[in-house]
């Protein structure tokens, strides 16, 4: 470690309360905290317990008070629709405070929940911030998620209101939200009181009064509303992530620590200052969109970019370069998948040469492991640092990174760099002992976690403790596996549960298996994530049929694929379901998913000692070759 980084990092671990007290001075508090860390009830730690503040005040009002009102807060660009807009901090606050008034008119009060199910439009950002302004807990659900996924989130959050849109746009197609919303409201046991529809031009839907109203109608008699004072440990939002039991996990974010940590990251990790133009090419439905489209850049007083488009196809593989050139963007944060797609379409970087990227200083990648080839390709093209960093929905900000605002470090291709200040990262082996340098094991973080991470799960303290904090006493289990080298660089090698990364989206293979199992012809199945150059991982299904099924295999495969599309959504990218004779299992009946995955990825594997019948692996290999999953040179 360099001396400057080492000093800061060491202080964050040896004197955490002093470290975070100093950082907390940089945000607005109605009442400054005197209790920095409450450790009396582990693993339920509380940061800044007696402080009071407001998320929206720190994102907007604070900067207006400091003379930044006319600075651009938000840039919206939709190459799909051709719409563009810019909003100053003053303009954005006006829209937010009026929509906050509209929510109050609908009976929403501090502590109530609102589901936001919207495409990448400015109104989605307005809705999120308006909730924060009046103390409503928002739960953003990825626009276009299947009805049953939306329904499960309505039921778990017990939301009072659903804020949605008439549709979303993808390249070449329109995603109609109305049937998805209707399906979810029918499936949900908890009844939503009100639905607000943002009508997209040319795609308006008929509304059923009085339960449903339009965005414009909701605003028609609304008045601008001030921020309410919120306790530091009250919740800003719930963000649901895939659960291995089929029940989604509601990650909650407490308000004070969220503001303190995220504002600090903008300069210290990303080297972005107040007034800089920052772009996170993600979606508001995911954690990256929460933290780095909406909250962190606005806490810092930056200009943040909201992009309704794709890296290729809107209109071409030069879309990202055009955005950076048009808006003088300093830093971009996206998933490695995006750059694999650009590289596939334009390997020689011909589109790149058309644009002026003199403003551009750094590219950050996260969401899945960034392969060295993609990083090197981007470095050669962009001639700026390309940084792979690692974090999770649970943490809301990076666990490991090259902290470019503190001190630039050497790149080690394939590594997610070093632990960020605040995180004491260790590797623990199966025998519960700490690993030495370069030894593989489970990646854990010593408790307490820093501010801005998840203090618990929504209405599920027991599940929080059992899922994350019990396997290794005194540590948070990340469910990632890897090693730390002799220089302190962290290498993330795989997941240790059934969550796979498809283009940066975390999906549960168990949830997909549940859907496949519902097919009347399927006896049993296994879903695994196989390596994919473009998307990181792709799910494939292996299906064993019931005896006496007379349907042909191709028809069953197509039906299974459609079922997953209907119930999980297109985001799963589930396109391969292979009918096989039998699944390889241990003698106790456990399916050997890890071994199948290694066969599919054409990597070396050892014959599992507990396998029931070794001959099955040869059958699986033949099936994978026959279906072009495994390519033998």
Q: Are residues 471 and 504 in the same domain?
A: no
- What are 520-577's pLDDT values in tens digits? 888 888 898 888 888 888 899 999 888 778 899 999 999 999 999 898 888 888 999 9
Cβ neighbours, 10 Å, residue 204: 12
Q: Are residues 444 and 544 in the same domain?
A: no
Predicted confidence at residue 509, as pLDDT, reads 77
Q: What is the rounded CA–CA span in Å between residue 504 and residue 602?
A: 23
**Within-domain flag for 187:** yes
**Within-domain flag for 92:** yes
Q: Are 491 and 482 contacting, i.e. CB atoms less than 8 angstroms apart? A: yes
**Angle CA 343–349–350, to nearest 5:** 130
Which two structure tokens, joined as six digits, stand for 334?
């996206």
Per-residue pLDDT at 610 exceeds 80: no
Predicted confidence at residue 633, as pLDDT, reads 46
Question: For the chain, how many structural domains are there in total?
Answer: 2
Q: Are residues 423 and 537 in the same domain?
A: no
Per-residue pLDDT at 231 exceeds 70: yes
Q: What is the rounded CA–CA span in Å between residue 441 and residue 448?
A: 21
Q: Are residues 266 and 296 in the same domain?
A: yes
Q: What is the CATH number of the domain that holds 258?
A: 3.40.50.12780
- What are 258-307's pLDDT values in tens digits? 999 999 999 999 999 999 999 999 999 999 999 999 999 999 999 999 99
Instruction: Indicate left, alpha or beta for 479 from its phi (over 0: left) and psi (-120 to 50: alpha).
Output: left
Q: Are residues 522 and 442 in the same domain?
A: no
Of 445, 477, 509, the one marking the end of a domain is: 477
- What are 14-49's pLDDT values in tens digits? 999 999 999 999 999 999 999 999 999 999 999 999
Q: Are 144 and 330 contacting, i.e. CB atoms less than 8 angstroms apart? A: no
Band of pLDDT at residue 584, cut at 50, 70 and 90: confident
Per-residue pLDDT at 420 exceeds 90: yes
**Within-domain flag for 440:** yes
Q: Are residues 74 and 153 in the same domain?
A: yes
- What are 42-66's pLDDT values in tens digits? 999 999 999 999 999 999 999 999 9
Cβ neighbours, 10 Å, residue 551: 12
Q: Are residues 534 and 617 in the same domain?
A: yes
**Within-domain flag for 251:** yes
- Residue 125: give the domain boundaries: 3-309+389-477
Query: How crowded is the C-beta side of 79, counted as CA atoms within 13 Å?
Result: 18
Predicted confidence at residue 162, as pLDDT, reads 98
Q: Are residues 43 and 134 in the same domain?
A: yes
**Within-domain flag for 344:** no
Of 419, 444, 477, the one marking the end of a domain is: 477
Q: Are residues 125 and 252 in the same domain?
A: yes
**Within-domain flag for 428:** yes
Q: What is the CATH number of the domain that holds 505?
A: 3.30.300.30
Band of pLDDT at residue 1, cut at 50, 70 and 90: very low
**Within-domain flag for 365:** no
Predicted confidence at residue 137, as pLDDT, reads 98
Cis bond before residue 315 (omega within 30° of 0): yes
Taking residues 617-621, report their average pLDDT.
89
- What are 108-144's pLDDT values in tens digits? 999 999 999 999 999 999 999 999 999 999 999 999 8
Of 443, 477, 511, the one marking the end of a domain is: 477
Predicted confidence at residue 506, as pLDDT, reads 63
From 65-79, 150-164, 490-504, the region with the lowest mean pLDDT = 490-504
Prediction pTM value:
0.86
Query: At 109, phi and psi to the nearest 5?
Result: -130, 165
Per-residue pLDDT at 2 exceeds 60: no
Q: Are residues 429 and 549 in the same domain?
A: no
Predicted confidence at residue 177, as pLDDT, reads 97
Mean pLDDT, all residues of the chain: 92
- The closest alpha carbon to 475, from 526, 524, 510, 424, belongs to 424
Q: Are residues 436 and 537 in the same domain?
A: no
Q: Radius of gyration of the chain from Cα atoms?
A: 24
Q: What is the rounded CA–CA span in Å between residue 75 and residue 73?
A: 7
Instruction: Indicate left, alpha or beta for 603 from its phi (over 0: left) and psi (-120 to 50: alpha).
Output: beta
**Within-domain flag for 335:** no
Q: Are residues 35 and 176 in the same domain?
A: yes
């Amino acid at each position: 470690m360099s001396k400057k980084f080492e000093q800061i990092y060491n202080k964050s671990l040896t004197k955490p309360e002093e470290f975070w007290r100093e950082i907390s001075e940089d945000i607005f508090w109605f009442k400054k905290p005197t209790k920095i860390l409450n450790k009396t009830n582990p693993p339920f730690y509380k940061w800044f317990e007696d402080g009071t503040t407001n998320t929206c005040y720190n994102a907007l009002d604070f900067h207006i008070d400091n003379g930044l009102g006319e600075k651009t807060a938000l840039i919206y660009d939709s190459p799909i629709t051709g719409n563009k807009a810019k909003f100053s901090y003053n303009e954005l606050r006006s829209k937010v405070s009026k929509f906050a008034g509209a929510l109050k008119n609908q009976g929403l009060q501090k502590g109530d929940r609102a589901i936001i199910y919207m495409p990448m439009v400015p109104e989605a950002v307005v809705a999120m911030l308006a909730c924060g302004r009046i103390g409503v807990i928002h739960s953003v659900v990825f626009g276009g998620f299947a009805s049953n996924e939306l329904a499960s989130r309505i039921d778990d959050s017990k939301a009072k209101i659903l804020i949605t849109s008439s549709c979303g746009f993808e390249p070449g197609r329109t995603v109609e939200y109305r049937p998805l919303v209707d399906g979810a409201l029918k499936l949900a046991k908890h009844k939503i009181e009100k639905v607000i529809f943002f009508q997209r031009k040319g795609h308006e839907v008929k509304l059923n009064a009085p339960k449903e109203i339009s965005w414009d109608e909701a605003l028609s008699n609304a008045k601008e509303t001030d921020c309410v004072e919120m306790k530091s440990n009250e919740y800003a939002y719930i963000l649901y992530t895939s659960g291995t039991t089929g029940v989604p996990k509601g990650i909650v974010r407490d308000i004070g620590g969220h503001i303190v940590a995220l504002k600090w990251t903008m300069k210290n990790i990303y080297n972005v200052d107040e007034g800089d133009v920052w772009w996170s090419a993600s979606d508001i439905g995911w954690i990256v969109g929460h933290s780095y489209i909406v909250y962190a850049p606005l806490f810092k007083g930056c200009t943040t970019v909201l992009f309704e488009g794709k890296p290729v196809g809107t209109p071409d593989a030069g879309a990202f370069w055009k955005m950076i050139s048009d808006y003088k963007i300093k830093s971009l944060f996206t998933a490695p998948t995006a750059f694999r797609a650009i590289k596939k379409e334009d390997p020689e970087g011909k589109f790149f040469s058309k644009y002026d990227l003199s403003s551009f200083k750094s590219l950050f990648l996260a969401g899945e492991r960034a392969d060295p080839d993609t990083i090197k390709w981007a470095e050669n093209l962009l001639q700026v640092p390309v940084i792979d960093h690692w974090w999770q929905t649970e943490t809301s900000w990076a666990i490991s990174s090259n902290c470019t605002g503190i001190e630039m470090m050497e790149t080690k291709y394939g590594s997610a760099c070093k632990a960020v200040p605040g995180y004491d990262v260790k590797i623990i082996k199966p025998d519960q002992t700490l690993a030495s340098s370069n030894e593989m094991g489970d990646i854990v973080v010593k408790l307490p976690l820093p501010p801005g991470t998840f203090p618990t799960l929504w209405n599920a303290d027991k599940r929080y403790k059992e899922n994350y904090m019990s396997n290794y006493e005194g540590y948070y289990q990340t469910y990632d596996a890897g090693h730390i080298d002799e220089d302190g660089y962290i290498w993330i090698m795989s997941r240790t549960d059934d969550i796979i990364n498809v283009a940066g989206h975390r999906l549960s293979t168990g949830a997909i298996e549940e859907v496949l199992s519902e097919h009347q012809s399927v006896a049993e199945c296994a879903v695994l994530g196989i390596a994919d150059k473009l998307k990181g991982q792709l799910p494939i299904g292996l299906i064993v049929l019931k005896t006496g099924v007379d349907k042909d295999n191709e028809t069953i495969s197509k039906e299974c694929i459609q079922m997953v599309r209907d119930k999980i959504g297109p985001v799963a990218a589930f396109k391969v379901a292979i009918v096989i004779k039998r699944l390889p299992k241990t003698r106790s009946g456990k399916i050997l998913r890890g071994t199948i995955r290694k066969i599919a990825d054409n990597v070396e594997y050892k014959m599992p000692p507990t396998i029931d019948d070794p001959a099955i692996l040869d059958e699986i290999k033949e099936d994978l070759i026959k279906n072009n999953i495994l390519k033998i040179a």
